[in-house]
Amino acid sequence: RTVWVDDKLYLPVRSGAGSQFRIIENAVPSGTPLEVLEVGDGYTKVRTPKGTEGWVSSQYLSNQPIAADRLRRATQQLEQARSELTSVREQLSAVTEERDNLQNAESSLSNRAGELQEELTRIKNIAADSINLERRNRELREENQKLRNDLEVLTAENERLEASKDSDFMLLGAGLVLGGVLLALLIPMLKPTRKTDNWA
């Protein structure tokens, strides 16, 4: 079987810079931050979080936090990044939906604008027609008035002619009567005078 050298160690804090000095704080675990007070030969004088001042073997000290703590921190950051990614994806999805809705709304508004434009054109045409109709109506009324005037003139003329015809008839009648009377007077005169019968 295989075994591995453990990365978890417990460092003794000694009263002096050497393994022969007595331990004044036992088993400071890996990853514990220590304040450096003095650097010696193979040993460093530190202050522990409990406040103990003493010497630890320099070969077990690191200038950066231990891998386990860095991994924990990286894992936390990864989790946070994942949750932010999820949130951003949700926002993206919402924004995409909103954009699609807006595009649909824009498209139907554009269609509506087209319809209204057509409607406007139709109304303008109708208005133009009504202007033409009004002009035509005015022309027809003027023409009507002219025809009425003509009719009046012609009616007057007609009446005048009727009257003159009547008087012509009367003259003709009178002439005929006169002619008749003259004939009645003249005809007996033209007849040969018959001798009166003696034997009567």
Q: Which two tokens stand for residue 160?
A: 């005048």
Nearest to 17 by CA among 35, 42, 53: 42
Q: Examine residue 11 and tell whether it contacts ligand 4NS (CB under 6 A).
A: yes
- The correct pick among 14, 44, 45, 46 for binding ligand 4NS (CB under 6 A) is 14
Query: Helical H runs in the chain?
Result: 67-190
Cβ atoms 55, 21 nearer than 8 A: yes
Q: Which stretch binds ligand 4NS (CB under 6 A): 5-13, 78-86, 133-141, 184-192?
A: 5-13
According to CB under 6 A, which one of 31, 57, 61, 66 is a site residue for ligand 4NS? 57
* Site for ligand 4NS contains 9 (CB under 6 A): yes
Q: 43 with 49: CB under 8 angstroms?
A: no
**Closest CB to ligand 4NS among 5 and 184?**
5
Does 60 contact ligand 4NS by CB under 6 A?
yes
> Is residue 30 near ligand 4NS by the rule CB under 6 A?
no
Nearest-approach distance from CB 2 to ligand 4NS, in angstroms: 20
Smallest Cα–Cα separation from 24: which of 33, 35, 11, 15?
15
Contact (CB, 8 A) for 59 and 31: no
Does 169 bind ligand 4NS (CB under 6 A)? Our answer is no
DSSP-assigned letters across all residues of 4-21: ---S--EEEEESSSSTTS
Smallest distance from the beta carbon of 81 to ligand 4NS, in angstroms? 35
Pairing of strands 35-39, 43-47: antiparallel
Candidates 12-20, 91-99, 148-156, 192-200; binding stretch for ligand 4NS (CB under 6 A): 12-20
Smallest gap from residue 48 Cβ to ligand 4NS (A): 14
Total residues binding ligand 4NS (CB under 6 A)? 7
Rg of the chain over all Cα atoms, to the nearest angstrom = 70
Give residues in contact with ligand 4NS (CB under 6 A): 9, 11-12, 14, 19, 57, 60
